[in-house]
Amino acid sequence: MLQGNYATASTHVRDQVTKMQIPTQIRHVSPVIPGPTTTAGVESSGSGLSWTSDSWRLKPAAQAVEYEDAKALEETCSYLRQLPPLVSPSEIENARAEFYHVALGRGFIIQAGDCAESFHDVRYNIIRRKVDLLRVQSKILEKALGKPTITLGRIAGQYAKPRSNPYETLPTGEVIHAFRGHNVNSEDPTDRRPDPNRLLLGYFYAAASQNTIRHLPGPALGAATKARTTSALYTSHEALHLPYESSLTRDHYNLSATTVWLGERTRQRDGAHVEYARGLRNPIGVKIGPTATPAEVVALLNVLAPDRAQHGKITIITRMGQGKVRVNLPPIIRAVQLSGHVPIWMSDPCHGNTFATKGGVKTRRVADMLLELQETYLAHKSLGSHLGGIHLEQTGEDVSECLDGNDELLEDGLGRCYRSLCDPRLSSDQAIQLVTDFAKYVKEQGA
């Protein structure tokens, strides 16, 4: 629920966007969506389908949002197509160049941020704390690994979320839409109707966040970073809402973020999300859980990066859960090595270690996350592979959403400051401690 004066301000912005004087030629559009500015180039593996920013519409789309008014959605998307980019193609190409070296073991990535960003948190001090946290973590990793460390925020666009069930049942028995992130609907159970106008709000909030990030004071450059020419922080989010993502795509560039990723629920090889992602110049992440098979992962790489010389074009983000890594990850690493693909390997120790307390509160143990990071690092090292990054859900604020230990008594403190819109996030102190402990472990292992 929105609180106080902010509720009034947010409602005002929403109303202004809703009432925008959209040009007539945009407002009255055909339901047929026009193609992108270019249709050149990429063909689907085995299908012969030429890629465009809208070719995904010919594929089944998992996690699609059900809007009551399809025409209203198209009018919104048509307006989004006219808006300025949030990032530049040159920034994306810079990232590709840096990611190439990470894939070869010459660098490392810290990717982190909110599980689901809130429109309410697009405030200067909150954004600054997120960026400051990433910079501290980057310095810790750079010192321990002796490699340049790239900062990649889950920020300025992580406004849509997948859900296991698109609907939920209230205690009254009423069935409503599940909360899908502020780009789709509200966390308020009385306002769950998907509203396409929220996509415009998401764009403008993302633009405000990008603008804030670009104007924050930059970090002092150390010896390991003097040669870098990139911006202080790259941005990323899950490419879940395909009408929104494709509306902000120009000439094979998704200009809403530097890099985007596909989730565990949307990485079907013949699905709409993979079809959309395969034609992008942006670096692409893919979440891989414990049920993924080696053949499945290689097949995904064949579609998303058919040119094996594009080292680092794809980042495989493993999210196995501690205790499952040793069995499930090595066969996947070995299969990818034999395939000739050279992706970036990243560990997400958060999602596979989520559980509910006896009181029904969703949480994670910091100790479990550290164990998964350690197990993943050893799995790669044993096979001559490189762990190229870690992917965390965290915030720069002093929240109480994750447990510091295994003592069940600590669960009593979860209600002190539990503000996440979806999954539990590490607090600033927890996030720094986790990265510090991981960096210390890597250093002890000889990096």
Report the distance separating Cα 318 and Cα 372, nearest Å: 10
Q: Residue 262 has which token pair? A: 């596909």
115 is in an annotated binding site: yes
Q: Is 57 annotated as a binding residue?
A: no
Residue 151 near residue 140, CB atoms below 8 Å: no
Annotated ligand binding at 324? The verdict is no
Query: 178 in the Ramachandran plot: left (φ > 0), alpha (ψ -120 to 50) or beta?
Result: beta
Spatial separation of the C-alpha atoms in residues 196 and 193, rounded to whole Å: 10
| Residue 428 zone, left/alpha/beta (φ > 0; ψ -120 to 50; rest) | alpha
Would you say how long the chain is, in residues? 447
**123 is an annotated ligand-binding site residue:** no
First to last CA, the chain: 46
Widest distance between CA atoms in the chain: 64
Determine phi and psi for 176, rounding to 5 degrees: -130, 165
The string over 334-356, giving b where at least 16 C-beta atoms fall within 10 Å of a residue's C-beta and e elsewhere, is ebbeebebbbbbbbbbbbbbbee
What would you report as the CA-atom Rg of the chain, rounded to the nearest whole angstrom? 21
How many angstroms separate the CA atoms of 331 and 188, rounded?
44
Indicate the SS3 state at residue 156.
Answer: coil
H or E segment at 100? Answer: helix 89-103
**Which tokens sit at 387?**
């762990």
417 is in an annotated binding site: no
> Is 154 labeled as ligand-binding?
yes
C-alpha closest to that of 233 among 152, 158, 154: 152
Q: CA–CA separation, 52 vs 54, rounded Å? A: 5
Separation between Cα atoms, residue 368 and residue 373, nearest integer Å? 9
Look up residue 178 and give its DSSP letter. P
Q: Report which residue type is found at 139.
A: K
245 annotated to a ligand binding site: no
- Binding residue numbers for Mn(2+): 115, 351, 393, 423
- Binding residue numbers: 115, 154, 264-265, 287, 319, 351, 393, 423
- Binding residue numbers for phosphoenolpyruvate: 154, 264-265, 287, 319
